[in-house]
């Protein structure tokens, strides 16, 4: 089961009819039976999202910026020539799944949460390479702990010559195929003893793109928070939130610009961020055999500050900027 602590009982399923999304419903059946000729099996018409529900100290259940997941899933659906999801269907599915499985939402205080996985697949007999005639939208969830074992702890990463996405490909959307492409470079890095890979920009292989399935950010020696800009990066909601926290809550300067791998020592701290990993500080980056360590190898003080605010907002201990939290009642 990996990242999940256990399976939950209820999931939501909705289907299209003549290209139009129909209202779906909850089910306890975790298996999906679809035609062998379904696009998802052959041509990868599949897309997912990831967000979490958190329990606050007062026992409230809250989602973190789910409106951005909604916008992003529809950007992905447009890229896959699949019908966009209506807002009420997207939220009904998530809210119903969270409520139905609420006994499995981890209690406040142990860093756990309920990971929610919405996804869309193209299904139905379809041997030609073309968009499907039918689609499934489903949401399931599982309680999770921290992504990299050990919580906030700095880890070692290595660059790879492989790309997870191409410059004008599907890197900006959570299309399943990007992750299939990432498994091999990840396994090479893992067997060499690293926590994961750093992808460089696919055109020039000179700039940092992503850290596995998380966005990169660095803190320069002048305390500027920098994060790369690239057409092959998945626009992380966590990254966008960290930029906001650094600028508006910590008064830091922030920049979105190229991060050249040969200039990695411009950063005194480096981090990987995403809903699953939250923030994983980088201890070192190995590139073409050269190891660059960040600071003293421990979690840097700026990253620690950002992490504490972000997690404080997730769990309702710190007041969120307007519109970031959606309570589920």
Asked if residue 174 binds ligand PLP (CB under 6 A), the reply is yes
d(CA 279, CA 307): 7
d(CA 169, CA 177): 11
Which residue, 116, 119, 87, 88, is CA-closest to 102? 116
Site size with ligand PLP, rule: CB under 6 A? 13
Instruction: Assess whether 174 carries a catalytic annotation.
Output: yes
Asked if residue 197 binds ligand PLP (CB under 6 A), the reply is no
Among 98, 114, 208, 237, binds ligand PLP (CB under 6 A): 237
What 3-state class would DSSP assign to 69?
A: helix
CB of 80 to ligand PLP, least distance (A): 15
Asked if residue 215 binds ligand PLP (CB under 6 A), the reply is yes
d(CA 207, CA 216): 11
CB of 289 to ligand PLP, least distance (A): 26
Among 50, 86, 106, 131, binds ligand PLP (CB under 6 A): 50
The region of 134-142, 185-193, 212-220, 306-314 touching ligand PLP under the rule CB under 6 A is: 212-220
CB of 171 to ligand PLP, least distance (A): 7
Which residue, 295, 299, 291, 298, is CA-closest to 192? 291
Among 156, 163, 210, 269, binds ligand PLP (CB under 6 A): 210
183 Cβ contact partners less than 8 Å away, ≥ 6 residues apart: none
* Candidate list 55, 60, 130, 174, residue with the active-site label: 174
Asked if residue 145 binds ligand PLP (CB under 6 A), the reply is no
CB 201 within 8 A of CB 209: yes
Alpha helices in 110-194 (DSSP H): 176-191
Which letter does DSSP use for residue 103 in this model?
G
Asked if residue 274 binds ligand PLP (CB under 6 A), the reply is yes
Residues of the shown chain interacting with ligand PLP in the complex, contacts defined by CB under 6 A: 50, 174, 210, 213-215, 234, 236-239, 274-275
Q: Which residues are catalytic?
A: 174
């Amino acid at each position: 089961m990996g990242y999940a602590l256990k399976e939950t009982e209820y999931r939501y399923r909705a289907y299209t009819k003549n290209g139009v999304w129909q209202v779906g419903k909850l089910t306890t059946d975790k298996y999906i039976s679809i035609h062998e000729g379904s696009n998802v099996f052959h041509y990868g018409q599949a897309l997912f999202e990831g967000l979490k529900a958190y329990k606050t100290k007062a026992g409230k259940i809250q989602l973190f910026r789910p409106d951005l997941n909604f916008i992003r899933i529809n950007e992905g659906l447009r890229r896959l020539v699949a019908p966009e999801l209506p807002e009420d269907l997207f939220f009904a599915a998530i809210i119903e799944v969270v409520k139905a499985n609420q006994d499995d939402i981890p209690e406040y205080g142990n860093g756990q949460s309920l990971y929610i996985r919405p996804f869309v697949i193209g299904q139905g007999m379809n041997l030609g390479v073309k968009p499907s005639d039918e689609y499934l939208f489903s949401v399931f969830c599982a309680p999770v702990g921290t992504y990299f074992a050990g919580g906030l702890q700095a880890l070692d990463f290595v660059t790879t010559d492989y790309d997870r996405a191409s410059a004008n490909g599907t890197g900006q959307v959570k299309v399943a195929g990007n992750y299939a492409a990432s498994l091999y470079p990840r396994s090479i890095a893992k067997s060499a003893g690293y926590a994961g890979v750093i992808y460089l920009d696919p055109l020039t292989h000179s700039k940092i793109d992503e850290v596995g399935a998380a966005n990169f950010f660095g803190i320069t020696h002048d305390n500027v928070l920098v994060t790369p800009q690239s057409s092959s990066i998945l626009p992380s909601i966590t990254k966008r939130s960290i930029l906001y926290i650094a600028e508006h809550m910590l008064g830091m300067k922030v920049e979105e610009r190229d991060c050249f791998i040969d200039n990695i020592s411009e950063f005194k701290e480096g981090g990987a961020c995403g809903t699953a990993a939250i923030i994983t500080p980088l201890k070192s980056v190995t590139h073409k055999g050269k190891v660059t360590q960040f600071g003293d190898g421990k979690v840097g003080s700026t990253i620690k500050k950002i992490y504490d605010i972000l997690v404080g907002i997730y769990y309702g201990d710190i007041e969120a900027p307007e519109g970031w939290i959606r309570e589920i009642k």
